[in-house]
Copies of this chain bind each other. A is one copy, B any other.
Amino acid sequence: MRITVHRKAHFNAAHRLFRKDWDDERNLEVFGKCSNPNYHGHNYELIVSVTGEPNPETGFVMDLKILKELIYHEVEESFDHKNLNIEVAEFQDLNPTAENIAVVIWKKLRPEILEDHDLEVTLYETPRNFVSYKGE
């Protein structure tokens, strides 16, 4: 019996979409106003989903208090109120698209989740644009 538990979290951050190895003109052409060199930002809404067998003793797949703290330490402490391009190591040479942010979050959380459990990350960049990644 496999059940999925989901926990929602929030962080807000500045970013810009661009590649260091492209000039401004090409960045603007590909990424449009998202490549503004002065940055823009978002309220990112994050859903972390863990699938596994519930512990027969507790009835929990995973204690959501622990998942909440894990998200806090692995994601919010590093990303919240930050400039993703400048202050988050993973985006020094990686374009912080919603896709790439979701993969980075997945990779940070994966080692902290039981091996038998599956992990999916859903990230809302705006209420109308969002991505999901499950490590496949």
Contact = CB atoms under 8 A, between A and B. Distances in A.
Interface of A: 1-10, 12-15, 17, 19, 30-34, 36, 38-43, 54, 57-61, 64-65, 80-83, 86-87, 94-100, 102-103, 126-133, 136
**Chain copies in complex:** 6
Contact of A136 (B1, B6, B13, B87): B1
Contacts of A86: 38
A102 B4 CA distance: 10
Contacts of A128: 7-9
Contacts of A81: 33-34, 36, 40
Contacts of A30: 58
B59 A99 contact: yes
A121 to B, nearest CB: 10
